[in-house]
């Protein structure tokens, strides 16, 4: 089921976690707590750090690297799959802030503006130099006089959109985001959903790319020079546009958000092709969906689809069995694995409830033994040359 056609599930099923019996038995107890919406996998393993990881000083040849290596994605506070209240969204953001999270990723597309509104309201009283925000361009939103049809955004704001990868569209989108966020500048702007998987585009993706190459990409460079933004790139579910921009005569992105492309159980294509192509141009990477859209938290949903690719359930079970033998949980292993490559600047897992973001933060502080990674290689869960934490 293609992402943009994935209809909103009823709240009772959208938030229910279905755990395969072999997964639960391979790593007991899999979940620590059940909440009103969402579940929390118990964190296992020795805590070896007190702070979330940060990036070091600027390095020659690297176009842009944010300070913070761990952030929070904003799809859930945009009501993806099931609605949450303003109070729950704020409580989740507060838990992230209290735990040291200072990088927040959002998009006008998330809840048709809702995610940006909620994030902006939360950040209103925070010092501007204390946090980093990334958002996206590619769609322009307009108030709709008619109720919008159901989509993957439950109880979204009643704004329809049109695609706009032009210079004017990018400028308008950034200015609209500044209004929704209540900010005077944005740290990172990603060109959103420009790729072959987006069947909703009104023209072939290659045509949309050409529009962006002489439009949005040039305008984002101009906004960076003006100081309105600090960096720009692509926020995409397939690497095609980012790799194309890194290898042709287009303006060179500073940083790219790769969603659904690099995880502990799915990383071969990115490791062999995408990451080297970006690194060669000094482009760093933010990893989105490092838990495969909750699949590595036990859900039977993978990359915004209820159709599971062949072999992923079995691979998750093998990962869980190895993790259990070494006394850690698979979420912790997955998050630290996604952050390990040198080209990766940050990871931005999402969270629906405070307990989820608190658990994600805790996972980044667990010390994972080298023997665990050695066994994953031996079991062919990860590639022999896949970077791992040290």
Catalytic residue numbers, as ranges: 110
Spell out a b/e string for 175-191, using b for 16 or more CB atoms within 10 Å of the CB, else e. Answer: ebbbebbebeebbbbbb
Alpha-carbon gap, residue 351 to 254, rounded angstroms: 26
Alpha-carbon gap, residue 172 to 176, rounded angstroms: 6
Asked whether 81 and 9 are in contact (CB, 8 A), the reply is yes
Alpha-carbon gap, residue 40 to 102, rounded angstroms: 22
The SS3 assignment for 114 reads helix
Assigned token pair, 35: 């909440």
Alpha-carbon gap, residue 328 to 42, rounded angstroms: 9
The SS3 assignment for 144 reads coil
Question: Position of tokens 């209103």?
Answer: 124
Asked whether 209 and 249 are in contact (CB, 8 A), the reply is no
Rounded to the nearest 5 percent, the helix, strand and coil shares of the chain are 35, 20, 45
Q: How many helices (H) and strands (E) does the chain have?
A: 14, 12
Asked whether 192 and 109 are in contact (CB, 8 A), the reply is yes
Assigned token pair, 367: 């010390």
Angle between helices 240-247 and 205-214 (to 10 degrees): 50
Closest CA to 296 of 209, 253, 244, 360: 360
Please state the length of the chain: 390
């Amino acid at each position: 089921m293609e992402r943009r056609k994935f209809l909103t599930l009823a709240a009772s099923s959208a938030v229910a976690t279905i755990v395969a019996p072999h997964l639960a038995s391979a790593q007991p107890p899999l979940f620590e707590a059940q909440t009103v919406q969402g579940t929390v996998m118990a964190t296992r393993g020795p805590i070896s750090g007190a702070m979330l990881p940060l990036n070091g000083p600027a390095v020659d040849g690297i176009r842009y690297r944010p300070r913070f290596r761990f952030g929070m994605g904003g799809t859930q506070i945009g009501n993806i799959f099931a609605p949450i209240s303003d109070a729950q969204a704020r409580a989740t953001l507060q838990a992230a802030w209290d735990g040291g999270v200072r990088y927040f990723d959002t998009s006008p597309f998330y809840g048709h503006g809702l995610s940006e509104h909620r994030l902006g309201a939360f950040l209103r009283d925070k010092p501007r130099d204390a946090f980093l925000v990334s958002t996206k361009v590619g769609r322009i939103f307009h108030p709709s006089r008619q109720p919008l049809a159901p989509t993957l955004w439950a109880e979204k704001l009643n704004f329809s959109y049109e695609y706009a990868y032009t210079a004017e569209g990018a400028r308008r989108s950034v200015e609209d985001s500044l209004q929704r966020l209540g900010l005077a500048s944005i740290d990172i702007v990603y060109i959103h959903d420009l790729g072959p998987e987006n069947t909703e585009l009104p023209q072939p993706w290659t045509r949309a790319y050409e529009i962006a190459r002489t439009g949005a990409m040039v305008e984002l460079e101009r906004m960076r020079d003006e100081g309105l933004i600090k960096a720009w790139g692509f926020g995409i579910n397939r690497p095609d546009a980012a790799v194309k921009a890194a290898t042709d005569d287009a303006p060179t992105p500073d940083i790219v958000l790769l969603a659904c492309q690099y995880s502990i159980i799915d990383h071969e294509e990115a490791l062999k092709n995408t990451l080297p192509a970006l690194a060669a141009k000094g482009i760093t990477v933010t990893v989105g969906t490092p838990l495969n859209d909750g699949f590595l938290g036990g859900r039977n949903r993978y990359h915004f689809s209820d159709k599971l690719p062949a072999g992923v359930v079995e691979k998750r079970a093998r990962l869980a069995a190895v993790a259990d033998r070494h006394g850690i949980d698979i979420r912790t292993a997955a998050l630290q694995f996604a952050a390990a490559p040198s080209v990766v600047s940050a990871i931005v897992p999402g969270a629906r409830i405070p307990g989820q973001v608190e658990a994600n933060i805790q996972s980044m502080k667990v010390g994972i033994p080298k023997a665990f990674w050695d066994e994953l290689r031996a079991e062919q869960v990860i590639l022999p040359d896949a970077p791992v934490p040290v």
